[in-house]
Structure 1
Amino acid sequence: MEEFRIAAIPGDGIGTEVVTAGIEVLEAVAGRDGGFRLSFDHFDWGSDYYRRHGEMMPKDGLDRIRGHDAILFGAVGAPDVPDHVSLWGLRLAICQSFDQYANVRPVRLLPGIVGPLRGVSSDDLDWVIVRENSEGEYAGQGGRSHRGLPEEVATEVAIFTRAGVTRIMRFAFGLARSRPRKRLTVVTKSNAQRHGMVMWDEIAAEVAAEFPDVAWDKMLVDAMTARMTLHPATLDTIVATNLHADILSDLAAALAGSLGIAPTANLDPERRFPSMFEPIHGSAMDIVGKGIANPVATFWSAALMLDHFGEAAAAARLMRAVERVTADPSCHPPDLGGTATTRMVTDAMLAAICGENV
């Protein structure tokens, strides 16, 4: 029986609450399917660790998790720790060091959830957003000089490489090919950003020639926000830069009902390093300890993890359980307009997974 080792890093805020729920559900799925085992190693890295040690994770942290099959991550961010310190000290340190260059964010209207768009069905809003996750606007290049003086200067340099753009384009076209509609939309801002974004457009056209069975089109990022809200049924698979896809995926999650249901897979498609799976919602410090965090995004992220392991049947079982739970309004937490607690949603998931027909 195959065993998968998972590094569990709850991080900050509600990360601890939803990762705990996610582990319960993953163990239930593994027990139900019986064809594989899961083991979890727990790491208390995050802002509390930073307050004690002056760093978000130990200096040998990456070596400690390098040999795992995947990482289940919660959230990062706390009011008393600068955001750039917490993000670059933990989440981005993992993503970039393990070259998790494909950030994949599926978005769809789940049963029982009503999004803000009128007359939109689950057939209309069923997307996958592919975010370039290693360079671009989040490459960490730039600097500041003349600090505190009137002539202070800060630069944030977006780095686009032919290798980086080509590999994310090939990944996105391949993902689009695997979906029923075989359609990809490439998002840039090449009218105003005439160097990096024009290169994106050119490479997209080059890679498209390798995928003649995939229909594709281009959109400027500002026009894309309008298309997502006004014509969602025209979209399927979407690829964009680190910054643009970060913003668009939050919009997409809101259109699907809540950030609390949106999952993320940070993939190293070549499988040289462990990939990382996490909810999109962040640390949500305003609801920490209230027991009302929505764990659905973590459950969906866990399904992406199982699929990454090649356990397609278990992943499908987990998603069927998610759909059964969201279809029941009594299982909706406050972010979905209900009163359910994290515990209630988790218990409903466990019951659904153990049910005969899931």
Structure 2
Amino acid sequence: MKTYRIAAIPGDGIGPEVVPEGVRALRAAADRYGFRVDVVDFPWGCGYYLEHGVMMPADGLDQLRRFDAILMGAVGDPRVPDHVSLWGLLLRIRKGFDLYVNLRPVRLLEGVPGPLASRGPEDVDMLFVRENTEGEYAGVGGRVAEGTAEEVALQTSVYTRRGTERVVRYAFDLARHRRRRLASVTKSNALQYTAVLWDEVTEAVSREYPDVEVWKVLVDAAAYHMVLNPQRFDVVVGSNLYADILTDLGAALQGSLGLAASANLDPTRRNPSLFEPVHGSAPDIAGRGIANPLATVWSVSLMLEHLGEREAAAAVFGAVAAVAREPRLRTPDLGGRATTRAVSDAVVEALR
């Protein structure tokens, strides 16, 4: 029987509440579809930082490298600066394993109350492909004369032709298997070097995909059209920062950050890919048992798809969709009163 080794990093806040429910769905899918999962928990995150002074140990990547995939919850704690927690764990894994594709579905599920009047599931169905290892989050920059009136801070975006081409090509391949439309988001009217390089690479790659319609759209216009004309979008590709921001807008369009799933992928499969809900650690509701676990379960579906377990992936997503249709199973982020465990129980039952 096929066995997958999964590293689980629950992290902080509501992470330790939603990751076990994702694992429950994963095990239910494994039982139904005839494979096994061996899940190992890692206690890394802000709690680990407060005790050890680091978000993960020095050999953390080596420990993770032997797994088939990673399931992460959320990272963040008011006692730890956000840039310390992000760069010390999640970005370290993304960059260390060259997880250059961040895949984020934006889809309004049937039964979920969306914020747009007269817009339903047929209007909001996008798939974002975010460049995940360079761009605005390259980490290049510095500060001089700190604490003085002359202090200067520089943060430099790094766009490479190789990095841009590989993520754009991945997006074209996805578009070819969906509705054959690709929106490429930049700000090339103002950023005359990095964004223009992105546009040029997109144009060059597009010649290999004559069957895919390309829409080059500025990031501010993309935000406008996502609200007023969401049906115009199918696959969307953008830089690290732009796609990061737009997918949080997308989470609002699909009803809640509690429904927003993501996959951090190494398409070469040389390294384990990482799967996580988009939401943060939400310390204001941590420990109350009301966090929405569906984003984590949806992320498990993305994990199974990546591992080649397509039937199981479809079943897990089907369970998410079935639960979302039930008003009595809405957690507070969706205007309901259901608990984390009640939603998870319904997911597992749907998978049996």
TM range (shorter): over 0.9
Distance 1:251 1:135 in 2: 22
1:2 offset after TM fit, Å? Answer: 1.1
Distance 1:234 1:279 in 2: 25
Distance 1:111 1:3 in 2: 34
Letter in 1 for 2:109: L
Aligned to 1:203: 201
What is the TM-score of this pair, normalised by structure 2? Answer: 0.99
Deviations 1:122-152 (A, max 9, x none): 1111000110000000000000000000000
Aligned to 2:326: 328
Aligned to 1:133: 132
Aligned to 2:274: 276
Aligned to 2:54: 55
Letter in 1 for 2:144: S
Matches within 5 A, 1:5-20: 5-20=5-20
1:343 is the counterpart of 2:345: no
Aligned to 1:90: 89
Deviations 1:93-122 (A, max 9, x none): 000000000000011111210110011121
Letter in 1 for 2:29: V
1:351 offset after TM fit, Å? Answer: 1.1
Equivalent residue of 2:58, what SS?
coil
Matches within 5 A, 1:7-156: 7-34=7-34, 36-156=35-155
Equivalent residue of 1:292, what SS?
coil
2:3–2:36 Cα contact (<8 Å) kept: yes
Aligned to 1:169: 168
Distance 1:332 1:10 in 2: 23
2:114–2:120 Cα contact (<8 Å) kept: no
Partner of residue 317 from structure 1, selected from 301, 305, 315: 315
Partner of residue 220 from structure 2, selected from 215, 222, 232: 222
Distance 1:352 1:318 in 2: 9
Gap regions ≥5 residues in structure 1: none
Partner of residue 288 from structure 1, selected from 276, 286, 289: 286
Partner of residue 266 from structure 1, selected from 247, 264, 267: 264
Distance 2:77 2:45 in 1: 9
Distance 2:210 2:286 in 1: 49
Matches within 5 A, 1:234-253: 234-253=232-251
Distance 2:306 2:108 in 1: 22
2:134–2:159 Cα contact (<8 Å) kept: yes
Equivalent residue of 1:286, what SS?
coil
What is the TM-score of this pair, normalised by structure 1? Answer: 0.98
Aligned to 1:305: 303
2:182–2:235 Cα contact (<8 Å) kept: yes
Letter in 1 for 2:130: R
Aligned-pair Cα RMSD in Å: 0.6
Distance 2:36 2:207 in 1: 42
Equivalent residue of 2:66, what SS?
coil
Gap regions ≥5 residues in structure 2: none
What is the count of residue pairs matched by the alignment?
352
Distance 1:2 1:351 in 2: 23
Deviations 1:266-293 (A, max 9, x none): 0000101000000000100100000000
Q: Percent identity?
A: 57
Distance 2:149 2:41 in 1: 47
Letter in 1 for 2:135: G
1:259 offset after TM fit, Å? Answer: 0.5
Equivalent residue of 2:246, what SS?
helix
1:213 offset after TM fit, Å? Answer: 1.1
